[in-house]
Amino acid sequence: MSKHSRRLINILQKIDKNLLYSPQEAITLLKSFSSVNFSETLEVHAALALDPKYADQQLRSTVLLPKGSGKLIKVAVITQGEKINEAVSAGADVVGSEDLIDQILKGSLDFDKLIATPDVMLLIAKLGRILGPRGLMPSPKSGTVTNDIKNAINEFKAGKLEYKVDRTGVLHVGVGKLDFDLNDLMLNLKVLQESIDKNRPSGSKGKYWKSLYLSSTMGPGIPININLLRDSKIG
C-alpha cells in the first residue's frame, strides 16, 4: 500500500461521515491534516438541486473573494486601437489583437483568464473550440467581455472568480489557500455562499442546497451543515 493512501486512510478515520460539521471545524481539521510541502487550496463542492439542461436552472456567476484566492492570475486581453495601451498599463500579462488570436489558434494558452472588448468578439468567435472546453471563452456574464479593461484586470487579479454548476448540478470552487488565516477563509466562504444564494435560478424549486463539502487539494471531503454557514457572522 502506498504512503499516500495510508495517509488518507488515517485521515478518513478521524472524520465522522454521519456528522455535519461547522465550516470552522472542517477548515481547522483540513489544516491539521495537511502535511504536503505545497500550499493546498481550500475547495468547495456544493451539490445544488439544479438541472442545468433547463435554461431557468443554470447557475453561472462571478464573485470577488475579499481575501483573494492566493493564486497568481495571468490575464490576457484581446482588443484593438488605444485599448491595447490601456490593457498594458493596467497590468495585463499578455495583450494583443489579431496576432494574439493567431497565437491562441496555434495552441499558445499561457494565461488563466482572457478578457476581450466587445469590438473584437466577432474576431474571436473562431477561438470557441479551443477556449470553450477550457472555460476561457470571454462572455459578458462572466465579466470578461467589457470596455472597462482596467477594472476587469484589477478584479480578476484581486481574487474575482467565475463559478458555474457542472452537468450534474455540482459547483467546484477554490476559495483560497489552506494556509490562509481561518477568519480569512471563512470570509471568502461566506461571500461565496451569499453569492450562490443571491443568484439562485428562477427554475430552482424546493430545497436548493443538497449537500456541501469542504476539502483541500490532497485532503478528504468533509460534510458541512449549510445552515451553520448561512447563520455565521463573519467580518
pTM reported for the whole predicted model: 0.84
**pLDDT over 70, % of the chain:** 95
Is residue 15 one of the residues assigned to a domain?
no
Per-residue pLDDT at 15: 79
Same domain, 136 and 175: no
Distances (CA, A) of 33 to 10, 12, 183, 184: 10, 10, 18, 19
Helix (H) or strand (E) holding 7: helix 3-12
Look at 139-143, 170-174, 195-199 and tell me which has the smallest mean pLDDT. Answer: 139-143
161: its cell numbers: 472568480
Is residue 8 one of the residues assigned to a domain?
no
Same domain, 200 and 174: yes
Find the domain containing 215 and state its range. Answer: 20-69+160-231
The mean pLDDT value of the chain amounts to 91
- pLDDT exceeds 90 at position 2: no
179: its cell numbers: 494556509
